[in-house]
Structure 1
Amino acid sequence: MGLASSELILGAQLVVSFFAGVVGVALWAHTREPSWVFVVLGILFQYISLMLDLLDRLGVIQLNAWLWQGIPWLRLTFAVLPMLLVAVGLIFALRSYFKP
């Protein structure tokens, strides 16, 4: 993969996750169910993660600069947090589905 194709992929990810974030916030405004709130937060944190990756590529910030025992904790946090929030939202949805 060349540099241009990785930039194209990052740009496409930014556009799609921005659209998902806008739709998610619109959904959030209409429902206050914890399951949807966590799913929307996961989408928003995915967008933040992509923005941080873009800023890192442009040299504005360095995500690998903040190390904890040799692990870049900021990069790790934003790599894991979006799917973790979506998983928590799905757990809340399952709990509400199986309520007696």
Structure 2
Amino acid sequence: MTNQMVVAIIIKLFFGFLAALTSLLLWSKTRDGAWLLMVLGVVFLYLETLLQILDSFGFILYKKIEFSSIPILPLIFEVVPFFFFALGMFVFLLRIRRFK
């Protein structure tokens, strides 16, 4: 592993942790369902980063579980955060439309 990869991993972990922490703090202040879905998206993105790092160091076999030669866990952790983001925005838009 090169120094550039180590620096990139450290930066990704730091800002991922910062995003997850601040999103949890924001949700605890608002207690809103739409924000909860956004927080879940951020947390899943951070979990994806952690799993990729653990896989690159050889601690877990992140890409070994396959279905029809498609790795299942990477697919889930790449799609689920954006599903939660989209669902959170949809809930927010529905709530805005309901009050007009």
Q: TM-score, normalised by structure 2?
A: 0.90
Q: How many residues align structurally?
A: 99
The residue that corresponds to 2:64 in the other structure is: 65
The Cα of 1:11 is off from its aligned counterpart by 1.8
Whole-Å separation in 1 of the counterparts to 2:90 and 2:9: 30
List, as ranges, runs of 4+ consecutive aligned residues in structure 1 with deviation greater than 3 Å.
none
Displacement after TM superposition at 1:5 (Å): 2.0
After alignment, is 75-84 or 48-57 more displaced? Answer: 75-84
Q: Which residue of 2 aligns with 1:35?
A: 34
Q: Deviations over 1:15-74 (max 9, x none)?
A: 111011111111121222111000001000111000000000000011111011111000
Structure 2 spans left out of the alignment, 5+ residues: none
Alignment RMSD: 1.4
Aligned-residue offset at 1:92: 0.8
Residue matched to 2:81? 82
Instruction: Give 1:4-43 correspondences, 5 Å limit.
Output: 4-43=3-42
Report the identity percentage: 28
Equivalence for 1:56: 55
Which segments of 5 or more consecutive residues in structure 1 lack a partner in the other structure? Answer: none
Amino acid at match of 1:77: I
TM-score (normalizing by structure 1): 0.90
Distance apart, 1:7 and its partner CA: 2.8
CA distance in 1, matches of 2:44, 2:70: 20
Higher mean displacement: 52-61 or 30-39: 30-39
